[in-house]
Chain A
C-alpha cells in the first residue's frame, strides 16, 4: 500500500512539470473565471447554487475531456519510454503502478476541478452574487466522482494497450461514445436487428434502460435526491428520467452503475497488463 501511494504521489508531482498540465490547468481556470463572471453578472437572478450548477455543467464536458487527455498516456507512455521497466525493477508491483497512477491522476483532476469551483465562487461572490457552501461541496463531490470514471477509463485503456496511438484513439473514442453517441446505440442496434430499416413501435424497455447505464446519467440518478439543485447540471449529456421512474433510475441502481464505471475499466487494464510481457 505504501508503494502504491508512492507511485500516486510521484504521479501527482510529475504533473507539476508537465506542459500538458498547464494547458489543462488554464482551461479549468478559464472555466472558473467564465462561470464566476457570468453568474456574477446578474446577481439578482442567481441563487446559492448557481455557481455550483454552472461549474458542474462545464466540468461535465471540459473536465472529462481533460481527464481523458491527461490519463490516456499514463501507463503506455511509461511503457514505451522505459520508465515502466525502471519502476518494475524497483520493488513496485504492476498493481502499484496501475492503481497508483489511477489514484494520482484522479487526485490531480479532482484538485483542478476544485480550482474551477473556488475561482468561480470567488469571482461571483466579489461581483455580488450569493454563493452557497453546501452546493459547492456537492459539486466538488459530483465532479470528482465523474472525473474518476474518465480517469479509470483512460488509465485502464493505457494499461491495456501496447502502443500509445491505440491508447489515445481508444480513450478519445470512448469519450465521444459516452458523451455523444451513447443514446444512439440502441437505435443503431434496433435498426440492424430490424433488417437495416427504421424500427417501428414503442421503444423497448432495454433501450430505455441502456440510457441509464451511461455514467453521467447514473451519477445524476444517484444524486438527484441529495442535490436536487445541482445534479440536473449533468443532464446535458444524459437521458432524462421518465415519469414512471423505473428501477434503473433509482439512486441505488445509479450508485452501482457509477461504482462499476470507476472500478471496472482500470481493473480490466490492470489484468491485461498483469499478464503481459513488457
Chain B
C-alpha cells in the first residue's frame, strides 16, 4: 500500500495557483525527497496532507485514508516537522516532548528523544528562548515521539548548522531502517542525494520529475562534464567540439576546456583535444544534483 497518494490535486489561493493537478505516490517504507525551488508548492502539498489547507480539486490519501476526513487518524500515525512552527506557550523543551507523547498516546522517555536530537542540556529551559536550530531539533524530537509509521518533514535542515544537518540525516536513515516512511522537502540538494530512495522535483506547482537519483541523471542525460587541460588551446577547437553530437556547452578557463555533455560524447571530446594539441590532464564528472535541479526547474531557482 502506498503511504502517500496524491491524485489530481489543485490548490488555488485567491487567484494564485500553488499546485496544478499534482499526482504523487510515496511507497511504504521509502525515503522520498521532495525538491523544488522556493514557492514551487512543496509546503502546500504537505499542508494538504496534514489538512492544514484544503485542496481546490483532487484528493490526497495517507495510509489509504482521506487526508481531510480522517486527518486525526492519519496524524496519530505520523510524525510531523511543520513549516512555520512556534513553541507551545511557555513550556520547556522536555514538556514539549511529553506533550507530544501524551497526544500520541505513546510511552517513551522524553529525555531519550531530546538526547537523540542533541538538546539534552536545554531540556529544562523554555523553548521560546531556544535558538532557531534548537527549536528545529525540538520539533524533530516531537515528530519522532511514538515511533510514527510516517515522518513528514518540511525543510528539516533549514536553520541547522552542519552538525545539526548531519544529525538530521542520521536520524532520517535510522527511521528508514526501522521501517518508517520518510517524506521530506528540501531545497538543499546534498541532503536529498545522501538519504533518499527517490526524488520528486516540483516546479511551479507541477511535478517535473520523479525517479531515483541515478534514474534522474540518466533521464536528464546531458548534464555530465569533461574538463581537458591543455598547454594551449588551439584556434577553432571550441567550434569543432561545439559541433559534436551530445555536447551542450563549451567554455575555456585558464587553459582548461570545459564541455558540458552526455556521457557517450566524452570520448569524442577528449579525442578531438588530443588531435588538436597537447593534453595535460583530463577530468570527467557526473551530473551533480544541482545540475539536474537546474535542468528541471529552468534555472529559475
Chain A contact residues, CB within 8 Å of chain B = 3, 6, 10, 14, 17-18, 78, 81-83, 85-93, 277-278
Evaluate whether A90 and B104 lie within 8 angstroms (CB atoms) in the complex, with A82-B84, A85-B82, A278-B53 already known. yes
Cα A6 to Cα B104 with chains together (Å): 11
* Of the residues B53, B75, B86, contact of A91 by C-beta under 8 Å: B75
**Interface bits B15-50 vs A (CB < 8 Å: 1, else 0):** 000000000000000000000000000000001001
Known interface pairs A6-B103, A82-B85, A86-B85; A17-B75 also in contact (CB < 8 Å): no
B126 contacts which chain A residues (CB < 8 A)?
17
Shortest CB-to-CB span from A228 to chain B, Å, is 43
B88 and A10 contact, CB distance less than 8 A: yes
Q: Are A277 and B52 in contact (CB under 8 A)?
A: yes
**Chain B residues with Cβ under 8 A from A90's Cβ?**
75, 80, 99-100, 103-104, 142
A86–B82 CB distance below 8 A:
yes
Q: Is B76 an interface residue (CB 8 A)?
A: yes
Known: A88-B52, A89-B82. 13 other contacts (CB 8 A): A6-B102, A10-B88, A10-B89, A81-B87, A86-B87, A86-B88, A86-B142, A88-B50, A89-B75, A89-B81, A91-B75, A91-B103, A92-B72
Q: Which residues of B contact A277 (CB under 8 A)?
A: 13, 47, 52-54
- Closest-by-CB residue of B relative to A87 is B88
Complex CA distance for A86 and B52, rounded to whole angstroms: 11
Q: What is the CA–CA distance of A87 and B144 in the complex, to the nearest angstrom?
A: 15
B71 within 8 A of A: yes
Decide: A3 and B85 in contact? CB cutoff 8 A.
no
Find out whether the CB atom of A92 lies under 8 angstroms from the CB atom of B142. no
Kindly identify which residue among B52, B83, B90 contacts A18, using a CB–CB cutoff of 8 Å: B90
Q: Residues of A contacting B71 with CB < 8 Å? A: 93
Looking at B13, B51, B89, which has the most chain A CB atoms within 10 Å of its CB?
B89
Main secondary structure of the interface of B (DSSP, over half): mixed
Residue among A10, A14, A93, A278 making CB contact with B52, cutoff 8 Å: A278
Which B residues fall within an 8 A CB radius of A?
13, 47, 50-54, 71-73, 75-76, 80-91, 99-100, 102-104, 126, 139, 142-143
- A43 CB to nearest B CB, Å: 43
A-B contacts counted at CB < 8 A amount to 79
Task: Give the CA-CA distance A6 to B103 in the complex, in Å.
Answer: 8
Residues of B within 8 A of A3 (CB): 103
Task: Say whether B99 contacts A89, CB under 8 Å.
Answer: no
CA–CA, A82 to B139, complex, Å? 12
| Other-chain contact of B88, A83, A88, A91 (Cβ < 8 Å) | A83
With A82-B84, A83-B88, A86-B85: A10-B99 Cβ-Cβ less than 8 Å: yes
Query: Once the chains bind, are A89 and B86 in contact (CB under 8 Å)?
Result: no
- A-B contacts, 13 of them at CB < 8 A, read A17-B90, A18-B89, A83-B88, A85-B84, A86-B85, A88-B52, A89-B82, A89-B143, A90-B100, A90-B142, A91-B76, A92-B72, A278-B53
9 tightest Cβ-Cβ pairs between the two chains A and B: A82-B86, A89-B80, A14-B89, A81-B86, A17-B90, A277-B53, A91-B75, A90-B103, A91-B76
Report how far A6 CA is from B91 CA in the complex, Å: 14
Which residue in chain A gives the minimum CB-CB distance to B104? Answer: A91
| Set of chain B residues within 8 Å of A6, measured between Cβ atoms | 99, 102-103
When chains A and B are docked, how far (Å) is the Cα of A90 from the Cα of B85? 12
| Measured CA separation A17–B88 after assembly (Å) | 12
A88–B86 alpha-carbon span in the complex (Å): 12
Q: How far is the CB of B117 from chain A (nearest CB, A)?
A: 15
Interface centre among A3, A81, A89, A278 (most CB of B within 10 A): A89
Cα(A91)–Cα(B139), bound, Å: 15
In the assembled complex, which residues on chain A have CB atoms less than 8 Å from the CB atom of B104? 90-91
Closest approach, in angstroms, between the C-beta of A22 and any C-beta of chain B?
13
A85 to B88, CA, bound (A): 10
Cβ contacts under 8 Å, A86 to chain B: 82, 85-88, 139, 142
Taking CB atoms, residues of chain A closer than 8 Å to B80 are 89-90
CB-CB under 8 A for A93 and B89, given A86-B142, A277-B53, A278-B52: no
Contacts of B139 in A (CB 8 A): 86
Please report the C-alpha to C-alpha distance between residue A18 and residue B89 in the assembled complex, in whole angstroms. 9
Q: Give bound CA distance, A18 to B143, whole Å.
A: 26
Chain A residue with Cβ nearest B52: A278
Give CA–CA (A87, B13) in the complex, Å.
23
Most buried by B among A6, A87, A90, A278: A90
Inter-chain contacts of B73 with A (CB < 8 A): 91
Q: Tell me how far the C-beta of A273 lies from the nearest C-beta in chain B, rounded to whole angstroms.
A: 12
User: What B residues does A83 contact at CB under 8 A?
Assistant: 85-89
| Chain B proximity of A60: nearest CB distance (Å) | 29
Which residues of chain B come closer than 8 Å to A85, judged between CB atoms?
52, 82-86
Which residue of B is nearest A11, CB measured? B89
How far, in whole Å, are A148 and B47 apart by their CA atoms in the complex? 33
- Which chain B positions have C-beta within 8 A of A87? 88
- In the complex, what's the smallest C-beta–C-beta distance from B86 to chain A, in angstroms? 3
